[in-house]
Amino acid sequence: MPQRQNITVGDLRRALRAYWRHAWPGGSACPPMPHWRGLRLCQVLATFEDESGPCPRHVLRLGNHVYPHMKFAVEQGLSGGDFYFVADCHDSAPCPAADDPAWVALRTRNREIKQAIEAAWHAAGLPTLAVLARAASDSARGLRPRGRRILLVDDEPANLELCGAILRTDGFAIASSTNGADAIEQAAATRPDLVVSDYEMPGLTGRDVARQIKAMNETRSVPVLICTYADLSLGELRPADAVLRRPFSVEALKDAVTRLVPCEDA
């Protein structure tokens, strides 16, 4: 359990109330509020499901009124210090065909619920990934790239901002895309030294992105790193070159990137 604690049990309660207000409108099927009276933060988080990897991640599988797999998550992730709250509806269940109309509608509704929850957290002054990403981006502003180019692909803008800020500190030039189709076009046009893609995204998945990049003559040699919460092996994500499990630390991200495309010296 990390020593640094920027949240309290009271913050957890406030975050949960906001989650339930948007995930279960009307409250008819809302799970009951946990009994945490007298518990310290470490004791409360010990009652969550532990999905920690290199970084702590604690989840409650609370679902929402249209999707039973949504999670209320408290994690550290890339920041390596402060906790933040996440409404997570990714990588939790088998996915039908990406173009299945019912699945597309469900994912759209899930994203709307997630955005409403996280907007409520932000309005309440609770820590979110977007807040930490902006702080990291501000600290990396003005850094000059030294030649190597990375294309980041993720439908979550905060992930793009945070990963981009971290990799800029190692001298990489960063481009970004919020969907697979645009990423493939960018890769063909610019031929980056590396593509780092989220796995589950609207439309094309990270695996689809890897397949199409490897199928084009101009980009077949570009390495692809897929990031995911899902319990997927590299063999299941081929032709990607590597997989990085979320939540990952700054060091894990940098190590994975360096193995695929070493940073150039100034």
Higher pLDDT, 253 or 139: 253
Say how many C-beta atoms besides its own lie within 10 A of residue 173's C-beta.
18
Q: HEC profile for 29-71?
A: CCCCCCCCCCCCHHHHHCCCEECCCCCCEEEECCCCCCCCCCE
Greater model confidence, 119 or 264: 119
Report pLDDT for 1: 42
Residues 6+ apart with CB under 8 A from 115: none
pLDDT at 3: 46
On the question of pLDDT at 79 being above 80, the answer is no
pLDDT at 242 over 90: yes
- Average pLDDT (67-83) is 83
Q: Which structural domains are found in the chain, ordered by start? A: 9-127 (no CATH), 131-260 (3.40.50.2300)
pTM: 0.84
Chain-wide mean pLDDT for the chain? 87
Residues above pLDDT 90, as percent of the chain: 58
Q: Are 22 and 120 in contact (CB under 8 A)?
A: yes
pLDDT of residue 58: 94
**Is the peptide bond preceding residue 247 cis, with omega within 30 degrees of 0?**
yes
Q: Read off the pLDDT of residues 85-113 as tens digits, 9 standing for 90 and up.
A: 999 986 445 555 556 788 778 888 998 99
CB 201 within 8 A of CB 213: no
What number is the average pLDDT over the span 100-128? 90
Greater model confidence, 239 or 108: 239
